[in-house]
Amino acid sequence: MGLFASVSEHRELLVCALLGLFVIKKLVVYSKLRQFGGPRWTGFSDWPHSWAMLQDRCHELYEQANLKHGPIARVAPKILITSSPDLWIHINNKPGYKRSDWYYNACRIEYRRDNVFSQTDNQKHEQRRKQMAPGYSGRENPHLENSVDERVQEFLDLIRNKYLSSDTQAIPMDVAQKVQYLTLDIISGIGFGKPFGMVQKDSDVDEYLKSSEEGLAIGNIALALGFSWLAHAPIIGKFISPSPQDNNGFGKMIAACYRAVDERAANPTDKRSDMLASFIRHGISGDELRSEALEQLIAGADTTSTGIRGALLYIMTNPRVYQKLQQEIDDAILEGKAPGSGKGIITLAQAKQLPYLQAVIREALRLWPPAVNIFSRDTPPGGDTVTVNGESIFLPGGVSIGYSAYGMHHSKEVYGKDAKVFRPERWLKSDPDKLTAMIRTNELVFGHGRFQCLGRPVAQLELGKTIFELLRNFDMALINPTKPWDARNHLGLFAISDMWVQVMERS
């Protein structure tokens, strides 16, 4: 009783002491980055950042922070964001920086199991990249481009057989959904050797698309509210992390990948046939192979479909660009620079020779980057002195700094006063020095250096072929230009739906 009485008598003092410690801790954290401005309360609380994530618009918060507070801004007590291309390149090149656990651990899909995207140990990450790069590059899959062509042709056939409108009848098509079917079929085909068949069935086979979007939405909420660590906590984590036995979220995707990997293990091949065969050939096996197969499926399909949908949106809402691009396509066919009607899908090499098509793709990726993740990096323990716009700035150790996709790719300093305008000609008519800076910045859409996206070669294949063939064959128009789509940012990937269009055969 004496102890309780003593505590009771001094509880006010105890409360004051605890409150004082809390305030001191907040002030210490605040002072570490006090030289960097940011939205209100971001120096003391994670809530502004969390609230933006819950509203599916953290990429907009990052851009606004950089516009108002400069190329390095504060978005949380220990988190900075940068819109400087030079600084982001420096961060990705310099030893000592590493991926931030707070973000990348939240991007794990399976219980305590990393993949090439979520791995925060630099050495392990680089080793895994070396094992996977040959599979993504196509060097070990001689049929990669043909496989993509087959899926694109199925996509064209689906539209022609089921969704063609006429002067007397309009048949609405959600092109956002169909493009996602296409990219999931492509990545499953070149990844596992057998496509899911979504385009042929015109359905979300086994609800893979739905489960992926649910998983990303759940992960986004968990990260925003600060309890994503529970999924990887001892004991409890195993029970709340996604499992192949689940009927929703990432569970169905995990089950599909497990089946594909187990089937390949039961029927091994030495042929250079698909990504799975390449990964196995370079020493990835068992649970690690399952994890990498799952990551390539989710990230590969989502980002590329967003790139295609973004390009289509900007093309359809800019008649001048639409007409000019179709004219280049028609001229290429007439001049023998692209296959004629019924003679196959345009090749990657041919698509790269069409300057306006490439300019349209670059401009669309710039205005609507497919991945707007923060890609947070931890600074070296001793900090780092960097130069931004000619000014020397010290970044303290023990803090995180991330990527502001919109801030970087909508920059007036890099792209000019009309940086917010969709104008593909900027890639064709700028002076050499400015063009070099623009291209250098635009390349960061795919990451940089040891963190560059492994799937870039496949994405470029899909973008060029799909956009060319759609505009060669069809005329498309948005049904509701005032609300062209519904787009939500979940963990930096966009869930896009309700992009209703009317498609007519080109005469």
Alpha-carbon gap, residue 82 to 73, rounded angstroms? 7
Alpha-carbon gap, residue 456 to 458, rounded angstroms? 5
Alpha-carbon gap, residue 392 to 57, rounded angstroms? 31
Bridge partners, 486 (sequence order): 497
Alpha-carbon gap, residue 173 to 208, rounded angstroms? 20
Helices 208-225 & 175-192, crossing angle to 10 degrees? Answer: 100
DSSP per residue, 100-130: -HHHHGGG--BTTB--TTT---HHHHHHHHH
Q: Do 373 and 446 contact (CB within 8 A), yes or no?
A: no
Alpha-carbon gap, residue 82 to 92, rounded angstroms? 13
Alpha-carbon gap, residue 154 to 198, rounded angstroms? 10
Alpha-carbon gap, residue 387 to 86, rounded angstroms? 9
Query: Which among 267, 285, 257 has a CA at the least distance from the CA of 187?
Result: 257
Helix (H, G, I), strand (E, B) or coil at 229: helix
Helices 319-334 & 286-316, crossing angle to 10 degrees? Answer: 110
Is there a binding annotation on residue 453? yes
DSSP per residue, 395-455: E-TT-EEEE-HHHHHT-HHHH-TTTTS--TTHHHHS-HHHHHHHHHHHGGGG--GGGS-TT
Bridge partners, 505 (sequence order): 474
Q: What share of the chain is helix, strand, coil (3-state, %, to 5)?
A: 55, 10, 30
Alpha-carbon gap, residue 367 to 419, rounded angstroms? 8
Q: Do 293 and 256 contact (CB within 8 A), yes or no?
A: no
List residues forming the annotated binding site: 453
List residues forming the annotated binding site for heme: 453
